[in-house]
Amino acid sequence: MHPILKLVVQRIALGLLLLLAVSAVIFLGVEALPGDTAQAILGQQATPEALANLREKLGLDRPPLERYFAWLGGVLTGDLGTALTNGADIAQSIGQRLGNTLFLASCAAVISVPLAIILGLIAARHAGKWQDKLISGLTLTTISLPEFVAAYFVIYLLTQVFPVFLPVASIYGGMTFWQKLNAVALPVIVLVLVVLAHMMRMTRAAILNVMQSAYIETAELKGLTPMQVIWRHAFPNAIAPVVSVVMLNMAYLVVGVVVVEVVFGYNALGQYLVDHVSKRDLPVVQAVGLVFAAVYIFLNILADVISIIANPRLRHPK
């Protein structure tokens, strides 16, 4: 078997095993949450008989191990169960909101990834100079701000000082693509500010590390400009760590936007999770947690695969 194919298969197998382990952790973690689901549904005035009947109906009286394997079997067949609070199909509800989350994450990624790479290349080209210090200082400032602080600052700046956008990000069926872009502009700006610094600094560090190589000196002696040396020779050989940090930030854009979605009232997966945590709707919390874990693991596997393919020693083994 080719070394690349062997490594890819190993990464996928390890990812599936990790997802299985994470599913057990999610189930046990949700089970350990304080409170009584039946009590939360029926209220404090419910009688013991009513609570017992509801627990039996929901299967909460069965042993945890039995409920875990029943839940896992449903997940493998695409059945995530129904929400305890309203009886809605969880898979359908997640599908509707996941599209909104992916749209928000994609918009932020389309802006942040190229911008971070360009800024990283400029910072590496002018390492130690005012351009490098300015870019590093601004990105470190943005990454130091908590998400909700950055969100409220952007809301105040672009809805009060400069009334350009609405403070609430709401998209619904029937909106055109440009209307959706206008609606999510503020949360996209916040997400770009949050993830930009990680990718920019990793790009800069990877480029500077490669610039110490002998072949870079050879390229400089050939008469290439510093930017040509970086773009043609340094960047292609620094792509592996850059791809890894980009994929990690892409995972964050999908699974870590809960605070941003709540601040802007954005109807997506994070808001859906927060709403049902407060209601102690365990099947919803478990299902959303598993979806987040699956996305995170998939993007990490994708980062590993791209890094493997980008390695010339694996592409052309002796």
Residue 167: CB atoms within 10 A of its CB come to 17
The per-residue pLDDT string of the chain (318 residues; one tens digit each, 9 = 90 and over) reads 666 777 778 888 888 899 889 888 888 887 776 666 676 666 677 777 777 887 777 777 778 788 888 888 888 888 888 887 777 888 888 888 888 888 888 888 899 888 988 888 888 888 888 888 898 888 888 888 888 888 888 888 888 888 888 777 777 777 788 888 888 888 888 888 888 888 888 888 887 887 777 777 777 777 777 777 777 777 777 777 777 788 888 888 877 778 888 888 888 888 888 888 777 777 888 888 888 888 888 888 887 777 777 666 555 555
pLDDT in the model for residue 237: 73
pLDDT in the model for residue 315: 57
pLDDT in the model for residue 100: 86
What CA–CA distance (Å, rounded) separates 62 from 41?
A: 18
pLDDT in the model for residue 310: 67
What residues are paired with 89 via a beta bridge? 82
Are the C-beta atoms of residues 37 and 61 closer than 8 Å to each other?
Answer: no
What CA–CA distance (Å, rounded) separates 21 from 292?
A: 14
pLDDT in the model for residue 300: 83
pLDDT in the model for residue 17: 92
Task: For 85-100, give the DSSP string.
Answer: TT--BHHHHHHHHHHH
Are the C-beta atoms of residues 99 and 107 closer than 8 Å to each other?
Answer: no
Name the 3-class secondary structure at 89. strand
Residue 66 buriedness (CB in 10 A; 0-12 / 13-18 / 19+): exposed
What CA–CA distance (Å, rounded) separates 120 from 208?
A: 10
Domains of the chain listed by start with CATH number: 100-279 (1.10.3720.10)
pLDDT in the model for residue 198: 82
Distances (CA, A) of 287 to 78, 82, 93: 11, 10, 11
